[in-house]
Amino acid sequence: MSYTTKQWMLKEPTGDNIDVTKAFNLITKQVSARDLKEGEVLAKTVYISHDPAQRCWIHRNNVEGRLYRTPIGAGEPMEAFGVAEVLETRNKSYKTGDLIVATVHWTEYGIITPDNIYFKSFGDAADMVTLGLTGMTAYFGLLNVGAATPKDSTIVVSAAASSTGAIVCQIAKNVLGIKNVIGIAGSDAKCAMLTRDAGCDIALNYKSPTFRQEFEAATPNDIDLYFDNVGGEVTDMALLRMKDRGRVVVCGAISIYDRIHEKGGNVGISRASWLQVICHQVKIEGFIIFQFADQFPRALGDLATWTQEGKLKLMKDIIQTDITEVPKGMSTLFKGENNGKLITQLKV
Amino acid sequence: MSYTTKQWMLKEPTGDNIDVTKAFNLITKQVSARDLKEGEVLAKTVYISHDPAQRCWIHRNNVEGRLYRTPIGAGEPMEAFGVAEVLETRNKSYKTGDLIVATVHWTEYGIITPDNIYFKSFGDAADMVTLGLTGMTAYFGLLNVGAATPKDSTIVVSAAASSTGAIVCQIAKNVLGIKNVIGIAGSDAKCAMLTRDAGCDIALNYKSPTFRQEFEAATPNDIDLYFDNVGGEVTDMALLRMKDRGRVVVCGAISIYDRIHEKGGNVGISRASWLQVICHQVKIEGFIIFQFADQFPRALGDLATWTQEGKLKLMKDIIQTDITEVPKGMSTLFKGENNGKLITQLKV
């Protein structure tokens, strides 16, 4: 069967400080089951996840050949993590009607290659988007890269009200039982949510004029683990407060994705805090979730169990809209206007 | 017995960009065996080591309470790693005439507390200075923090002609048999030494106008391990060339010790290279040698064995002078004018 679909294509790789809603062209095209190759499925997009990393995929200033995936080129389809419903299949593992967790295009109907299909959705498919990528990011970042810390330790999480951050805080408090979980976010409302719902003992608004003093007051015994989603000034501040052998998990750097080359392009780590890396034997480690691909099933199982046990509340911010509004979701994410995991539920 | 001694005291903790030779006062005082407490020795200083880290010990802009040791305060005696000859002793492990490897003062005669005595010197005492602190720094940084890498890997060492750097390069090549050992130094003469004597396959002069291109050409398959002694631009350049799961060992940062707060005090890591930490899952880890104190005997044994086997050539730059010239040694070190481990042999 053949489907008429609207789909967003990247105009061209972008620079810094752009309005992302203007970076894409909406086209109309046909997709047909006749085009399916072995292993592929033709699917209707159900959920489209909006994630900070997507900003890097479309940025022309990536160091050539050194992004963790092939960047999206001029005229190429925009991609996202998401859930799709299989309509036609040449993949023996997935049948018509299955909901699959996959890398999808910003499209109503599309063909998905086997390497972009991760697993069959179970339970609530919107939870799958939340647990599947950002939940697993929190899981591997905190447990594998950060390594379990004693309960009597201090963990600081930046962009703590983000989808990944909120799960990091909850695993730290509700699963590991960590004593001091400190979340940093960009509004008082987010901070209130962090202490009320996300297991934070203290939540700090980084836009407060007294943030630096509040940060120091909140970490009198220094930091065992800093889970970094933002980069920049907050990271610098954390480096000045690390314990001996403290660990910095570099999960993301949303504060710099849209200004890689602005103002000399410095990440904002001071000499004084770099010296702390030596003096306090700090370990800083970056990661991407796909390095743990062989452990996805275990992680997803744990996360689903903890959700059922009430240890994780999944905060979802679902936009129900048609394909024309999808780029606005990306813009909303970068303005920090979402509350919880931002997902477009596609009306097709 | 009582000894008249000349000794250098720090005038006051310093700022950036200073002439270190003017930071100290030379005093004359008496030291007497009657002042010895249990465990202490009275010793004549034989060798005084000049090490980059000493610059941090006297800098007022350390983050308060967060240097790995107590900084040296106004009017307090300047300290150094060194070798001294025991003249009088209240320590059962060390007798008169023993040469001890210790933290000494910039003094002719002085009392050394038991926590500042590391071990009895064996073999050539100047070798002990070279192997004892900087050799062990190279050893633990490369083998413990950096972790042994497969022979078919690329290791880059900054300040490779420094005492620590030259030993890192030689252990990498002559002990581990690493295929690509690349040293970076600040003159063509040092680079010639690195390829001739220190096991480097390639040596690059960072003052060359085409250094960046040479650096890229020298690392076509990227970097497994970057052993960092300098910080700043070279570190930034290395971060842009790391392999997946590559490791950065942060041993020192001599390029910033004298300008911690200059020009905004940024360490010089760009946003683009910070993103590489994520994309390529880079691990950056600082260390100080004292975290491995329990393994000093094994390290020193290995280093001495490798030296006897000809695998390590110890490059020493020994200044024979009296106490009045000691601060000039520190200045020589920071100008990069030494060739190999810079040591003052004290004429008393």
- Note whether residue B13 is domain-resident: yes
A89-98, B151-160, B253-262: least confident range: B253-262
Flag whether A307 is in a domain.
no
pLDDT at B293: 87
Q: Which two tokens stand for residue A7?
A: 């789909």
In DSSP notation, A279-344 reads HTT-EEEE--GGGGGGGHHHHHHHHHHHHHTTS----EEEEEE-GGGHHHHHHHHHTT--SSEEEE
**Residue spans of beta strands (DSSP E) within B123-222:** 154-157, 180-185, 202-205
The residues of A whose Cβ lies within 8 A of any Cβ of B are 56, 61-63, 66-68, 231, 240, 244-245, 250-253, 256, 259-261, 264-288, 291
| B243 contacts in chain A (CB < 8 Å) | none
Taking the C-alpha atoms of residue B32 and residue B104, their distance in angstroms, rounded to an integer, is: 16
Residue in chain B nearest A280 by alpha carbon:
B68
Interface test with B, best of A267, A269, A273, A282 (most B CBs within 10 A): A267
Q: CA of B123 to nearest chain A CA: how many angstroms apart?
A: 31
Task: Provide the token pair at A172.
Answer: 């730290």
Task: Look at B195 and A256; give whichever has higher pLDDT.
Answer: B195
CA atoms within 13 A on the CB side of A200: 29
Minimal-distance CA residue of chain A relative to B68? A279
Nearest to A276 among B66, B231, B245 (CB): B66
pLDDT of residue A225: 97
The residue range of the domain holding A337 is 2-121+315-346
Radius of gyration for chain A, computed over Cα atoms and rounded to the nearest angstrom = 20
End residue of a domain, out of B243, B274, B290:
B290
CA distance A140 to chain B (A): 13
Residue to substitute from A251, A263, A279, A292, interface B, most B β-carbons within 10 A: A279
| Counted domains in chain B | 2
Max distance between CA atoms of chain A, in angstroms, equals 65
pLDDT, tens only, B108-122: 999 999 999 988 988
- Note the pLDDT tens digit of each residue in A312-343: 999 899 999 999 999 999 999 988 888 789 99
Judgement on whether residues B43 and B138 belong to the same structural domain of the protein: no
Stretches in chain A below the pLDDT threshold 50: none
- Is residue A212 domain-shared with residue A100, that is, in the same domain? no
Whether A29 is covered by a domain: the verdict is yes
Render the burial of B227-265: b for 16+ CB within 10 Å, e for the rest. Answer: bbbbbbbbbbbbbbbbbeebbbbbbbbbbbbbebbeeeb
**Which residues on A lie below 8 Å from B266 (Cβ)?**
266, 268-271
Q: Name chain B contacts of A244, Cβ cutoff 8 Å.
A: 291
The reply to whether residue B275 touches residue A283, judged by beta carbons under 8 angstroms, is: no
Please provide residue A213's backbone torsions phi and psi, each rounded to the nearest 5 degrees. Answer: -65, -40
Mean pLDDT for chain B overall: 93
- Same domain flag for B165 and B234: yes
Among B272, B290, B308, identify where a domain stops.
Answer: B290
| Whether residue B193 has pLDDT greater than 90 | yes
At residue B52, the pLDDT reads: 87
What is the percent of chain B with per-residue pLDDT over 90, rounded to a whole number? Answer: 76
Choice between A40 and B258, residue whose per-residue pLDDT is larger: A40
- A71 and A213 in a single domain? The answer is no
**Could you identify the residue written with the tokens 């275990």?**
A298
Cβ-nearest to A267 among B244, B271, B285: B271
- Does residue B258 fall inside a structural domain? yes
HEC sequence for B303-339? HHHHHHCCCCCCCEEEEEECHHHHHHHHHHHHCCCCC
Would B225 be classed as within a structural domain? yes
Asked if B112 and B147 sit in the same domain, the reply is no
Contacts of A256 in chain B (CB under 8 A): 271, 274-275
A90 and A160 together in one domain: no
For residue A271, CA distances in Å to A6, A232, A259 come to 50, 13, 21
Query: For position A263, what pLDDT does the model report?
Result: 67
Judge: A265–B251 Cβ closer than 8 Å, yes or no. Answer: no
Q: Is residue B139 part of a domain?
A: yes
- Chain B contact set for A260 (CB, 8 A): 271-272, 275
Taking the CA of residue B222 and the nearest CA in chain A, the distance in Å comes to 11
Residues B104 and B184 in one domain: no
Size of interface A-B (CB pairs under 8 A): 152
Answer with the residue of higher pLDDT: B263 or B147.
B147
- In this structure, is residue B327 part of a structural domain? yes
Report chain A residues whose CB lies below 8 A from the CB of B283. 283-286
How far away is chain B from the Cα of A293, in angstroms, using its nearest Cα?
14
Portion of chain B with pLDDT greater than 70, in percent: 99
Mean pLDDT of B83-112: 97
Q: Is residue B307 part of a domain?
A: no
CATH number at residue A266: 3.40.50.720
Q: d(Cα B193, Cα B166) in Å, to the nearest integer? A: 10
Is residue B246 within 8 Å of residue B282, measured between CB atoms?
Answer: yes
End-to-end CA distance of chain A: give it in Å, rounded: 17
